[in-house]
């Protein structure tokens, strides 16, 4: 199976460790991973801020770069949701505006082949025990787009529960938004920060040392909040936990 890693522009630039973890994990599970160098950004920030027309060329570019693969895997719930939920909508809107089928036709092939990482592991590879070892107490925050747009359900938690040494603590109010929301974090900084602080406090209340999620954008917001609040907890992407083994443990 020829699988393309869609790392996302945020991870590529700021969180290369997550990318290395995905490659390590998938390779360990026997998947042949490619990283198409032409990839850039799915256009989510543009789209969600109201720049749909600026997002369209990015979506076309995404389809050009990834169209030839059997599966596209991304360690980001919100970028996955962009492709799966919003690309079809972009196509429909273009059609409704009398611009024809071209956008819809270009985007259609990548939509069903795009998987968020935990979905790919559980649904496509059919594994929940990925042979990981991570001796820490972890609490899991299901990010909004993973939870509601993609419907990841309990897949990430099942994966975490199977990790050797890992103690999973339930996060109170888990389904509440952490307050990141892309440009929302800038446009409504105070409300966003208040939401982030509440999320960090409930994570702290579990006694876990690691706050885990399947999206580095939310973790960037929460990690920045933790650092400012002087919390001992660390934000860690689920891929890094799943990639960690006894021989090569994650930091």
Partner 1 sequence: MSGTFVGMPAFPKAAHDAVHNPVLRGNLRHATHTIRAKRARAVAELADWAALREAGRRIKDHTLRHLDRYLVQLEESVTAAGGTVHWAADADEANRIVTRLVKETGESEVVKVKSMATQEIGLNEALLDEGIRAYETDLAELIVQLGKDRPSHILVPAIHRNRGEIRDIFRSEMGGWGRPAPEGLTDTPAELAEAARLHLREKFLRAKVGISGANFMVAETGTLVVVESEGNGRMCLTLPETLISVVGIEKVVPTWRDLEVFLQTLPRSSTAERMNPYTSMWTGTTDSETADGPRAFHLVLLDNGRTDTLADQVGRQALRCIRCSACLNVCPVYERAGGHAYGSVYPGPIGAILSPQLRGTASEIDASLPYASSLCGACYEVCPVAIDIPEVLVHLRERVVQGGPAVRQGNRVVLKPAKGHAAERAAMRAARWAFAHPGALRTGQRLASRTRRLHPRTLPGPGRAWSGTRDLPAVPPEPFRDWWQRSRGGKDGVK
Site for partner 1 in 224-243 (CB under 8 A): 224-225, 227-228
CA 220, CA 86: separation in Å to the nearest integer? 23
CA 138, CA 129: separation in Å to the nearest integer? 17
Residue ranges in 143-202 that form contacts with partner 1 under rule CB under 8 A: 144-145, 147-149, 175-177, 179-197
Q: Which of 58, 107, 121, 239 binds partner 1 (CB under 8 A)?
A: 58
Q: Which of 3, 4, 25, 47 binds partner 1 (CB under 8 A)?
A: 47
Q: Which of 133, 220, 234, 245 binds partner 1 (CB under 8 A)?
A: 220
Residue ranges in 76-115 that form contacts with partner 1 under rule CB under 8 A: 89, 93, 96
Task: Give the residue carrying structure tokens 């443990």.
Answer: 249
Return the exposure string of 215-249: e unless at least 16 CB atoms fall within 10 Å of the residue's CB, then b: bbbbbbbbbbbbeeeebebbbbbbbbbbbbbeeee
- State yes or no: residue 53 binds partner 1 (CB under 8 A): yes
Segment lying near partner 1 (by CB under 8 A), choices 102-110, 132-140, 201-209, 221-229: 221-229
- State yes or no: residue 247 binds partner 1 (CB under 8 A): no
Phi/psi for 237 (5° steps) reads: -75, 140
CB 174 within 8 A of CB 151: no
∠ CA 220-223-225, nearest 5°, is 110
Min dist CB 55 to partner 1, Å, is 8
DSSP of 20-62: HHHHHHHHHTT-EEE--TT----SHHHHHHT-HHHHHHHHHHH
Smaller CB distance to partner 1: residue 46 or 84? 46
Min dist CB 112 to partner 1, Å, is 21
Site string for partner 1, 10-29 (x = CB under 8 A): -xxxxxxx-xx--xx--x--
């Amino acid at each position: 199976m020829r699988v393309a890693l869609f790392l996302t522009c945020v991870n590529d630039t700021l969180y290369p460790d997550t990318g290395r973890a995905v490659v390590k994990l998938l390779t360990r599970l026997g998947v042949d991973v490619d990283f198409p160098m032409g990839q850039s950004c799915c256009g989510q920030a543009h789209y969600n801020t109201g720049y749909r027309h600026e997002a369209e060329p990015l979506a076309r570019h995404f389809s050009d770069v990834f169209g030839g693969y059997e599966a596209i895997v991304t360690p980001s719930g919100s970028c996955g949701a962009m492709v799966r939920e919003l690309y079809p909508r972009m196509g429909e809107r273009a059609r409704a505006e009398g611009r024809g089928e071209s956008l819809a036709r270009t985007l259609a092939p990548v939509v069903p082949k795009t998987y968020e990482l935990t979905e790919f592991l559980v649904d496509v590879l059919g594994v929940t025990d990925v042979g990981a070892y991570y001796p820490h107490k972890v609490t899991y925050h299901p990010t909004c787009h993973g939870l509601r747009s993609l419907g990841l359900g309990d897949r990430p938690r099942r994966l975490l529960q199977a990790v050797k040494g890992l103690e999973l603590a339930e996060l109170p109010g888990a389904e509440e938004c952490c307050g990141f929301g892309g440009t929302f974090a800038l446009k409504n900084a105070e409300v966003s920060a208040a939401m982030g602080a509440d999320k960090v406090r409930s994570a702290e209340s579990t006694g876990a040392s690691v706050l885990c999620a399947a999206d580095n954008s939310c973790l960037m917001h929460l990690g920045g909040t933790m650092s400012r609040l002087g919390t001992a907890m660390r934000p860690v992407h689920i891929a890094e936990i799943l990639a960690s083994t006894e021989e090569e443990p994650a930091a």
